[in-house]
Structure 1
Amino acid sequence: MRAAVLTRFGAPLTVREVPDPEAAGGEVIVDVLAACVLPYAAEVFSGERNYPLVPPVVPGTGAVGRVVHVGADATRLRVGDLVWCDPAVRSRDDALTPDITLQGWSSRGEGGARLARYMHDGSFAERMRIPTENAFPLPAAAGDDPARWAALGVHVISYGGLLAGGLAAGETLLVSGATGNLGSSAVAVALAMGAGRVIAPGRNQAVLGLLADRFGPRVRPVELTGDESTDRAAMSAVADGPIDMVIDLLPPSAPSSATRAAAMTLREYGRVVLMGGVGMLGGDDLALPYPWIMRNSITVRGQWLGPRSANAGIIRLLASGALDLAPERVRSFGLDAVNEAVTYAAAHGGPFDRTTLTPPAG
């Protein structure tokens, strides 16, 4: 089969023939129909983000695909099934704290690195191997436009964070980083989950207007100034009531002061979920005040990825129409144009911009 291979950091991906994946027990082989190219993929492949990928590797996080082989342990999956391939692979020998690798992308700790050495390659290929439990059936409609449904790879992340924070219908959510690719997903997913209103702070006035136009009065945009106290007051004021939850999805380039300003708008007993990249490339620590956390009974939770059940949940939201993919702008590239796709994704990382690889399309 053909695949795009990262031979070394800082080099373009090379499209070449590689051996077809072979499934062991408890694994599935899938023909890749569409794989999402994340806006920061170029930063990963250049080595700027210092991800624990080990070249040579086929990168790529998740895919929409069609099953071509199932093992004896699969009781419901069938050859020909259309599935979402969840890239979050978990070890099976520790139910309490499983090691995790993000297949073809990243991993956590030495255990995750060991898992990554086994489940090494991702979705930038004509075919991929995944654990049986990572194949999630999709509705037939996804087969009509698999490139659009590949946005699952973005939406399932924000959905996992909202689940971690216990977002309830009618609550007010503040999305720190709302004007970004992942943050705008959190706005859309939260509204699909029944959020009463969503506070959307950012510096890009045009993008804030886009969010307000698409979602109406339940979205409350706030143009940020960069001054922590001013921005905190503005976010609190536009909420027109208590803020129940904050989810932070800011990128590594953002200052920790922006995360802190958002977090400290919370009401007493509020929750903050940290899912972004602040501090990953250096910079100041978050430094939330201990007395404020303690006296206001604030819950602060870090969340990397989400539970396996998040995949099934986000598919249900999409299948029901509560979360609408139709307005998203999708640009697809064949496998031979993978480097063009990576460059395009970096330049088109705004709200609801999606870049995909569609290997069978050439």
Structure 2
Amino acid sequence: MRALQVVTLTGPSDLVVNDVPEPTPGPADVLVEVHRVGVAFPDLLLSRGEYQMKPEPPFSLGVDVAGTVVSAPDGSGFEPGERVAAVGGWGGAQERVAIPAEFTFALPDALSYDEGAALPMNYLTAEFALHERGGLRAGETVLVHGAAGGLGTATIQVAKGMGARVIGVVSSEAKRQTATDAGADEVVLLEGFKDAVKEATGGAGVDLVADIVGGPAFLDSLRCLRRQGRLIVLGFASGLGIPEVKVNRLLLTNTDVRGAAWGEFAMSTPGYMQEQWARLVPMIESGAVRPPVGRLYELEDFGQALVDMDERRALGKLVVRVRD
């Protein structure tokens, strides 16, 4: 079968499509015929050997997949032919993949394979950040950085599904519409966002900041928080460095900075992903969650998709076609 592989840890330009043996599922695995693969930031890091998990080359990329069940263990709840989405550490960018049933989810009929591949990592990460780490409550206001990207649009939609007001921050006018279409109530530009947020909230500030990009905007994000506000650290997509905070600021303002490492928590907590999925399904059924899919790439162009994501040209979630 075809597989998109890392053979040298030299980045996206050196990815290759190879013929590899089909996987043999373990006793707790679902064997999935892959239709679509979502492009994720860990794929970029894996291609460079910079991720916390370091598989030995050659290995296949691919964190998010959507496809159909070929076989499933008894009692798993999955049947051959069923449409599913799934998530793993890597290995999904190939024609078939074996994934633990615990990390596999029934794909609602309302969603396409493209949308299914855009769901797992980003939306489960967003749900973890807002629900588990952020303690978001209906009626609160959330500020989302990187609001036009895959994780940003997911965070907007999950926050809206939880009953929040959402202000998106984007780096250019060209990205404003993507964040608006994802459901943001207001969208402001990164340049001068602190003052724009203060104006939008009548000077009160926001209850929660979801910071996906890091970099020099971090301090102004803290300044956007109201009393007992929470800033959730989700990543450093800007590439402009990892920010630091003087803890006396947190003391004086009664605010929090919290990390949200979904993968480490979810993959080591049995049953947690299924609990998260159960909370997302009503949001999907209500229409609050509908993943915006950006460009669709062929398997051979996975490397270009990673370059586009790395250079922040992505709008919504980038998806790779494995088969129709």
Residue 242 of structure 1, CA deviation: 4.2
Label 1:284 to 1:38 Cα distance change in 2 as closer, same or farther (>3 A). closer
Q: 2:25 aligns with which of 18, 23, 26?
A: 23
Q: Distance in 1 between matches of 2:297 and 2:114?
A: 10
Match of 1:133?
102
Residue 170 of structure 1, CA deviation: 1.3
Match of 2:297?
333
Q: Distance in 2 between matches of 1:348 and 1:297?
A: 34
Match of 1:318?
284
Q: Distance in 2 between matches of 1:181 and 1:3?
A: 24
Label 1:14 to 1:132 Cα distance change in 2 as closer, same or farther (>3 A). same
Label 1:165 to 1:23 Cα distance change in 2 as closer, same or farther (>3 A). same
Label 1:209 to 1:15 Cα distance change in 2 as closer, same or farther (>3 A). closer
Deviations along 1:159-200, whole A, 9 cap, x unmatched?
Answer: 2211121212111111133244422332233223221x2222
Residue 209 of structure 1, CA deviation: 5.0
1:244-255 pair list within 5 angstroms: 244-250=207-213, 254-255=214-215
Residue 76 of structure 1, CA deviation: 1.9
| Conserved 8 A contact 2:46-2:54 | no
Match of 1:301?
258
1:66-105 pair list within 5 angstroms: 66-72=68-74, 74-87=75-88, 103-104=89-90
Match of 2:174?
206
Match of 2:6?
6
Label 1:136 to 1:258 Cα distance change in 2 as closer, same or farther (>3 A). same
Residue 233 of structure 1, CA deviation: 3.9
Give the count of matched residue pairs: 310
Match of 2:269?
none
1:35-50 pair list within 5 angstroms: 35-38=37-40, 41-42=43-44, 44-47=46-49
Deviates more, 1:161-170 or 1:42-51: 42-51
| Conserved 8 A contact 2:156-2:182 | no
TM-score normalised over the length of structure 2: 0.83
Q: Distance in 1 between matches of 2:123 and 2:142?
A: 16
Classify the secondary structure of the residue corresponding to 1:8. Answer: coil
1:350 paired to 2:314 = yes
1:187 paired to 2:156 = yes
| Conserved 8 A contact 2:294-2:315 | no
1:286 paired to 2:244 = yes
Q: Distance in 2 between matches of 1:331 and 1:151?
A: 12
| Conserved 8 A contact 2:144-2:156 | yes
Match of 1:262?
221
TM-score normalised over the length of structure 1: 0.75
Label 1:194 to 1:36 Cα distance change in 2 as closer, same or farther (>3 A). same
Classify the secondary structure of the residue corresponding to 2:92. Answer: coil
Q: Distance in 2 between matches of 1:129 and 1:266?
A: 44
Residue 34 of structure 1, CA deviation: 1.0
Deviates more, 1:160-169 or 1:307-316: 307-316
Match of 2:117?
150
Question: What is the identity, as a one-letter code, of the residue corresponding to 2:250?
Answer: I
| Conserved 8 A contact 1:176-1:259 | no
Q: Distance in 1 between matches of 2:110 and 2:294?
A: 17
Label 1:310 to 1:260 Cα distance change in 2 as closer, same or farther (>3 A). farther
Aligned-pair Cα RMSD in Å: 2.9
Q: Distance in 2 between matches of 1:177 and 1:165?
A: 18
Residue 30 of structure 1, CA deviation: 1.1
Residue 247 of structure 1, CA deviation: 1.1
| Conserved 8 A contact 1:3-1:18 | yes
Deviates more, 1:329-338 or 1:234-243: 329-338
Q: Where do 5+ consecutive residues of structure 1 fail to align? A: 88-102, 105-121
Q: Where do 5+ consecutive residues of structure 2 fail to align? A: 267-271
Residue 137 of structure 1, CA deviation: 1.2
Match of 2:322?
359
Deviations along 1:32-80, whole A, 9 cap, x unmatched?
Answer: 12111237845652457787343111111121121112224x3422222
Q: Distance in 2 between matches of 1:295 and 1:2?
A: 57
1:111-130 pair list within 5 angstroms: 122-130=91-99
Q: Distance in 2 between matches of 1:40 and 1:53?
A: 12
Match of 1:58?
60
